[in-house]
Amino acid sequence: MEEGGRVSWVRYGPLVSLLVVLLALWFRSPQNEVLDDRLDTVLSSLLRAEQKVGMNNVARPKVAVGFGGCVDLIVDGVTLLNKIGLPLTDQPLHHDYIVNMEQLAQSFAYFFAPGAAAERFMLNDTLFSELVEASRDLPGNRWAVGGNAPVMAGRMATEGCDVLLGGSFSPDFTDVLSQHITVAGTIVEEPDIHLILEYPSGASWGNYTSRRANRYIIHSDDHNPYLASMEEFAEKLDNFKPDLVVVGGLQMMDNFPFQEGERHTLLSRLADLLSSSSPQIGIHFEMASFVEESIMEDLLHYVIPHADSLGMNEQELPNLLSLLKGSNITVLSDPNPRVATVLDQMREVYRILNQRHRDAHDAGAKGKSLTRLHVHTLAFQAMIVTRGSQWKNTMSATAKASLTANRHVCGSDDIDPNKARLIMDDSFSVSRREGSQRIPLQETRPVSCWDEDDYEICVAPVLVCTEVYQTAGGGDNISAAGLVLQI
């Protein structure tokens, strides 16, 4: 994919629209019943795959998760923007960060129409407070524990792990956390608030219509960018003896107005922390929406070389790959990529990062090879896991990640096939290379796994939720759910 995500997305745009139309026609046809049967079979098969491995007979795995956290204020995005009277724009534009209403409108329009997940720092405190105030009494708003680390911690605690969570929270925040979560961090009085502008598929704002459900997140953190809990976390880590360390939430540093050198100091401290942990302990890094090139470079230098495992979505994958290949960051990619495209990108990321690792190792640098890569998309879950590495149960983990996607977005542990549909094709090609093998989607064995080079690949279709409760935090729930079966 030399040309970068945006171009290919534009190229496939008409095809996607055509597919949507065909799909709509198909849904109305008498074939509906066949389709329902198919969904039921895929669901029961995924559930069977998920339950194939349990954690019941082992002691609770221990997972240490950093950093930070916030209070999410979740609102319907269009309702909020209409309420504050945000002037419409006919110019969707990418901005690294937001300073005023006009930029907010442009940036929102840029991601809203394709339905791509985005997260932006707001440099204007006044505007941020105005938005929060307007959201407080918006009908249907919700408050929730937010931030990558607490959401992943919560999911892992629910799935049977004991968790050490690195974050500085207010006392009432700590109160609502699971009893299986121990907090390492200082107490803060005013927690950081993240404003989550959710929108369903087909929502309209001005003359823009969203092509899929997603969210646009605005934050203006005071605590999280400084990884304020890192020292307390580091102190408790030795005694806690984790089986797995998970790092997320670093995107709060993106475009934050740090003093000169401050970010380097923080990230090199983090690199020390990660590289000093015993090599047997797995380290997972959950990517997120980054747009500042220099912080991505920092991640490639300080964080990614120490991770055995990476998790990311369909936007973050091409972004990372593009940077690894020496090109610019891709701000917006196809929100509905094909399996073949994603697998090719994953193979390349895996290959380049492991090549870098070997080069660094030869030069005497510390670091680990990448043995696990999990990409979560709307339509499917994909994993690459090195054969013979510490990660177990890849097939079941992929199934669990897929089921978690529906559970999270629909907001219910019980999956209702009436609120789900399959948008992955009947078969998929394993690569965009000509003559590549096609794998049919078998309803009774929906997770396809096969070997290549030194790794195994697994792909599972997602039963895409059609009655969206929440998209924000989806990636964290999904990644965490996939990890728990692999420790």
Ligand X SMILES: *[C@@H]1O[C@H](CO)[C@@H](O)[C@H](O)[C@H]1NC(C)=O
Question: What are the residues binding ligand X (CB under 6 A)?
Answer: 90, 99-101, 124, 126-127, 130, 151, 154-155, 207, 327-328, 407-408, 411, 473, 477
- Closest separation between CB of residue 463 and ligand X, Å? 14
Q: What is the DSSP letter of 309?
A: E
- Closest separation between CB of residue 425 and ligand X, Å? 26
- Closest separation between CB of residue 289 and ligand X, Å? 18
193-216 core/surface letters (b: 16 or more CB in 10 A; e: else): bbbbbbbbbebebbebebbbbbbb
- Closest separation between CB of residue 125 and ligand X, Å? 8
Three-state DSSP class for residue 37: helix
- Closest separation between CB of residue 225 and ligand X, Å? 20
Q: Which is nearer to ligand X, 23 or 88 (by Cβ)?
A: 88
Task: Decide if 404 contacts 481 (C-beta within 8 A).
Answer: yes
Strands (E), 171-322: 181-184, 193-199, 204-205, 208-209, 214-219, 244-247, 282-286, 309-313
Tell me how far apart the alpha carbons of residues 174 and 298 are, in angstroms, rounded to a whole number.
31
Tell me how far apart the alpha carbons of residues 67 and 119 are, in angstroms, rounded to a whole number.
17
List the structure tokens of 445. Answer: 């064995």
- Closest separation between CB of residue 285 and ligand X, Å? 19
Q: Which is nearer to ligand X, 124 or 466 (by Cβ)?
A: 124
Q: Which is nearer to ligand X, 89 or 486 (by Cβ)?
A: 89
Task: Decide if 240 contacts 164 (C-beta within 8 A).
Answer: yes
Q: How remote is the C-alpha of 357 from its chain's centroid? A: 24
Q: Which is nearer to ligand X, 371 or 402 (by Cβ)?
A: 402
Q: How remote is the C-alpha of 380 from its chain's centroid? A: 13
Q: Which is nearer to ligand X, 71 or 430 (by Cβ)?
A: 71
**Residue number closest to ligand X, CB atom:** 154
Q: Which is nearer to ligand X, 31 or 204 (by Cβ)?
A: 204
- Closest separation between CB of residue 126 and ligand X, Å? 4
Of residues 76, 71, 189, 73, the one with CA closest to residue 136: 73
Q: What is the DSSP letter of 182?
A: E
- Closest separation between CB of residue 25 and ligand X, Å? 26
Task: Decide if 244 contacts 64 (C-beta within 8 A).
Answer: yes
Q: Which is nearer to ligand X, 100 or 186 (by Cβ)?
A: 100
- Closest separation between CB of residue 271 and ligand X, Å? 26
Q: Which is nearer to ligand X, 312 or 480 (by Cβ)?
A: 480
- Closest separation between CB of residue 134 and ligand X, Å? 11
Task: Decide if 459 contacts 380 (C-beta within 8 A).
Answer: yes
Residue 3 CB-density burial (10 A; 0-12 exposed, 13-18 middle, 19+ buried): exposed
- Closest separation between CB of residue 105 and ligand X, Å? 12
* Paired residues of 427 in beta bridges: 440
Task: Decide if 153 contacts 65 (C-beta within 8 A).
Answer: yes
How far lies 228's CA from each of 105, 181, 224, 234, 266, in Å? Answer: 32, 18, 6, 11, 10
Q: Which is nearer to ligand X, 134 or 230 (by Cβ)?
A: 134
Task: Decide if 146 contacts 475 (C-beta within 8 A).
Answer: no
The helix or strand, by DSSP H or E, that contains position 120, with its residue range, turns out to be strand 118-122
Q: Which is nearer to ligand X, 126 or 278 (by Cβ)?
A: 126
Q: Which is nearer to ligand X, 336 or 479 (by Cβ)?
A: 479
Q: Which is nearer to ligand X, 83 or 361 (by Cβ)?
A: 83
**Phi, psi angle pair for 245, to nearest 5°:** -115, 130
- Closest separation between CB of residue 291 and ligand X, Å? 11
- The vertex-417 CA angle with 416 and 423, nearest 5°, equals 130
Q: Which is nearer to ligand X, 446 or 473 (by Cβ)?
A: 473
Strands across the sheet with 62-66, in order? Answer: 181-184, 162-166, 62-66, 244-247, 282-286, 309-313, 372-376, 380-386, 455-461, 448-452
- Closest separation between CB of residue 469 and ligand X, Å? 8
Tell me how far apart the alpha carbons of residues 438 and 339 are, in angstroms, rounded to a whole number.
11
